[in-house]
Amino acid sequence: MDLEDTLLMMPGPVPVAPRVLRAMSKPMINHRSAEFAGIYTDCREILSSVFQTKNDIFLLSGSGTAGMEAAVGSVAGNGDKIIAIENGKFGERFKDIAALYADVVPAVFEWGLPIDLEIVKEKLEEGAKAITLVHNETSAGILNPAVEIGKLAKKHDALFIMDGVTSVGGDNVRVDEWGVDIAVVGSQKCLAAPPGLSVVSVSERAFEAMKDVTKKPYYNDLLAYKKSGDKPRPETPYTPAIPLFYALQEALHIVKEEGMEARIKRHRILSEAVRAATAALNIEMFPQLNEYSHYSNTISAMKAPAGIDSEDIKNDMKKRGVIIAGGQERLKSKIFRIGCMGNVTARDVLSTIQQLEIVLNKRGYVDSLGAGTEAATRVIDRA
């Protein structure tokens, strides 16, 4: 397989622009220098507009999971209660991380089903220091109701900790308006940078809650990041992955050049095109929705057609030069997922649908080619 000719259409990592890759080849610099402080400050300023927040922004050398652990571990200690909402793999991960630091009250729903807000409300009424939510649950392709969870958290005086790993930078995320106390994003998703960095926004309310925590993470202590970030020459508390900071800065400049409104619109249109194509091919979307949940605009999760293992679809697509994702754990062999993250283009989406049609035709599921591509093209052209 020629990696340079392979199309990544999975839920991250995503293709990285050549100018971002070139940025990583810059010489090493002193991470306590004015040069690094300038990069760090530039990234934080652009990210503030991406997160739509006035809260502090920090960059951690570690993937989105590191940001999740920093968020929970910095605010919760023994005896604190955290409500962990789960309706997919990454909600389960947030729950497992929280259990390392606090007493977890799980709010578990079947993967791909909408969150029952009444159940969440009942659990909050019993009291909790914080509540966790995965905004965009990529394992199931469902966009969860951050606005409503934020309102419930505020009403019951609980910190709202949100995994925005696959929504920030590609979908509408309003950290301040939604009352998100800590939000997390990963560099390799909608920001279209290489893997290895996470970004965390932290409210003053969350910082206050951290002061009473006696046993916090060492490397991922957000108070340590604040202390270093507040210096006249901002820095990270520990040695950062400098090439990744170069790359993220360049990727954020691409985001800024496009503009967030246009970027969000592009993600939505292309995901709608994928959904239109699969509908034309009689493929059923996996998540079930209610009035508060929506299909993800950065990843589409579909049920494998009857009689076909989704792993076979994934492997067939790989042979044709397109990398998509299958299902995770209990969803393995049952669903396949097509990503629309980062700097994805209409050509990328149409190429993916064309190859999917060929794969389904060879497996006897569709008799002729073109219906999916035509449906996707109509959506794209209409926009």
pLDDT at 141: 97
User: d(Cα 370, Cα 378) in Å, to the nearest integer?
Assistant: 12
SS3 186: strand
Question: Which residues touch 173 (CB under 8 Å, ≥6 apart)?
Answer: 50, 51, 52, 135, 146, 164, 167, 183
Exposure b/e, 55-75, CB count within 10 A at least 16 = b: bbbbbbbbbbbbbbbbbbbbb
pLDDT score at 1: 57
Q: Could you read off the pLDDT of 309-326 as tens digits, one per residue?
A: 999 999 999 999 999 999
pLDDT of 112 above 80: yes
Average of per-residue pLDDT across 250-254: 98
- Answer for the pair 355, 7: CB distance below 8 angstroms, yes or no: no
* Confidence tier at 5 by pLDDT (50, 70, 90): confident
Q: What is the pTM of this model?
A: 0.96
* pLDDT recorded at residue 79: 87
Q: Is the peptide bond between 305 and the residue preceding it cis, with omega within 30 degrees of 0?
A: no
Tell me how crowded residue 125 is: count the other CB atoms within 10 A of its CB: 11
**pLDDT for 240 beyond 80:** yes
Structure tokens at 352: 């993916």
pLDDT at 119: 97
pLDDT in tens, 174-203: 999 999 999 999 999 999 999 999 999 999
State yes or no: pLDDT of 269 exceeds 80: yes
Tell me what pLDDT residue 249 has. 98
Tokens of 126: 């019993």
Q: How confident is the model over 111-136, as a mean pLDDT? A: 97
Q: pLDDT class for 3, splitting at 50, 70, 90? A: low
Summarised one tens digit per residue, pLDDT across range 52-109 is: 999 999 999 999 999 999 999 999 987 899 999 999 999 999 999 999 999 999 999 9
* Confidence at residue 78, expressed as pLDDT on a 0 to 100 scale: 76
pLDDT, position 4:
74
Average per-residue pLDDT for the chain: 96
**In terms of Cα–Cα distance, which of 353, 333, 329, 352 is closest to 139?**
329
Helix axes 346-362, 310-319, angle to 10 degrees: 120
373 and 34 in contact (C-beta within 8 Å)? Answer: no
- Strands 136-137, 197-202: pairing kind: unpaired
Alpha helices in the chain (DSSP H): 18-23, 34-51, 64-75, 89-99, 117-125, 146-155, 175-178, 204-210, 222-229, 242-258, 260-280, 310-319, 346-362, 371-382
